[in-house]
Amino acid sequence: MNTIDHHWQRFTLKQKLSRYAVYLVLVIAFVQSIQSVEVIPEFLLDAPEQMADMFSRMWPIDFAYYPVAVHDAMVETLNIATLGTLITLIFAIPLALMNASNIVNSAWCHWISRFFLVSSRSVNSLVWALLFVSIFGPGVIAGVLAIAFRSIGFVGKLLGEAIEEVNMGSIEALKATGASWMSILLKGYWPQVLPAFFSIVLFRWDINVRESAVLGLVGAGGIGVVLDDSMNLFQWDRVAMSLLAIFIIVILAEIVVVNIRKRLI
């Protein structure tokens, strides 16, 4: 018997070939893109100089601008993020219920809910904001709705997965007592998904704080409007003030979310 020739291989030939095919496609795509993308090398060369110029214009940060415009805009930004997250729930909870196979057992419902969830996620929040600005005009309402519609896909998908993971024992026990549909949802599913629900919503809120800071660039309210205005006027010291405010708020939001999640889970 010759055992020497049968040395161990981690992957089969087919696995190896398909892996190499992926690498090959990646390399081809990369080379092709590098060759055809329109990049002007001179621009890259003087980038450090331009960067230095930008930061030197930013430097004495215009702190006096904070009480004038930045403070109100920051509060508005936080309100857009929070209200948007709350409005999302109105749409996301029914879609999540429809998407969970242990609640609704119909392929049609799954396809409908999945369609809404995927299209909500595919369209970026700035694009949603553009759409809502052209419907409701520039202002806060467009920002709130843009945040809400962008978050539906995220919250709905994760919440649906959390619902699918519940322990069915207590649900069956409730069913055996003859509980109504509503009480099964409220007393059977809800307590089990509660921690997941809060952590998903908080996580999305954290993302929404970041996103609502830029919605103003297309006119949907918040700190972005102030940022856009001072950029168009080349007041880089005020731009720096707005960026600093955004930076602090984002860090604070992350700290708050991490702390609440630690308590909840």
Partner 1 sequence: MASINSSQNRENPFKQNWFVTAIWLLIICYVAYSFNAMGLSWERFNEGLGHASNLLGRMVPPNFSRWSLLMSGLIESLEIAVISSICGIFISLFLGLFAARNMMPNWISTPVRTLIALCRTFHPVIIAILFVKSVGFGALAGILTLVVASVGFIAKLFAEAIEEISLKQVEAIRATGAGFTSIILFSVMPQVFSRFIGFSTYQLDSNLRNSTMVGIVGAGGLGGTLFSAFQRFDYDFVAAILIIIIALIMFGEFLSNIVRSIFR
Residues that bind partner 1 (CB under 8 A): 15, 18-19, 22, 26, 29-30, 33-34, 36-40, 43-44, 47, 50-51, 54, 75-76, 79-80, 82-83, 86, 118-119, 122-124, 126-127, 130-131, 134-137, 140-141, 144, 187, 210-211, 213-214, 217-218, 221, 227, 231, 243, 246-247, 250-251
For the bound state, the minimum distance from the C-beta of residue 1 to partner 1, rounded and expressed in Å, comes to: 29
In the block, which residue shows the tokens 């059977």? 188
For the bound state, the minimum distance from the C-beta of residue 135 to partner 1, rounded and expressed in Å, comes to: 5
Q: Which is nearer to partner 1, 3 or 67 (CB)?
A: 67
Between the alpha carbon of residue 117 and those of residues 150, 166, 189, 200, the distances in Å are 9, 21, 21, 15
For the bound state, the minimum distance from the C-beta of residue 224 to partner 1, rounded and expressed in Å, comes to: 9
For the bound state, the minimum distance from the C-beta of residue 168 to partner 1, rounded and expressed in Å, comes to: 19
CB of 155 closer than 8 Å to CB of 84? no
Between the alpha carbon of residue 101 and those of residues 75, 198, 263, the distances in Å are 40, 21, 30
Token pair of 70 as six digits: 């930045």
For the bound state, the minimum distance from the C-beta of residue 97 to partner 1, rounded and expressed in Å, comes to: 19
| Residue 235: alpha-carbon gap to chain centroid | 30
State how far the Cα of 154 lies from the Cα of 150, in Å rounded to an integer.
8
Q: Which is nearer to partner 1, 105 or 234 (CB)?
A: 234
State how far the Cα of 154 lies from the Cα of 161, in Å rounded to an integer.
11
Q: Which is nearer to partner 1, 104 or 138 (CB)?
A: 138
Q: Which is nearer to partner 1, 81 or 100 (CB)?
A: 81
CB of 100 closer than 8 Å to CB of 160? yes
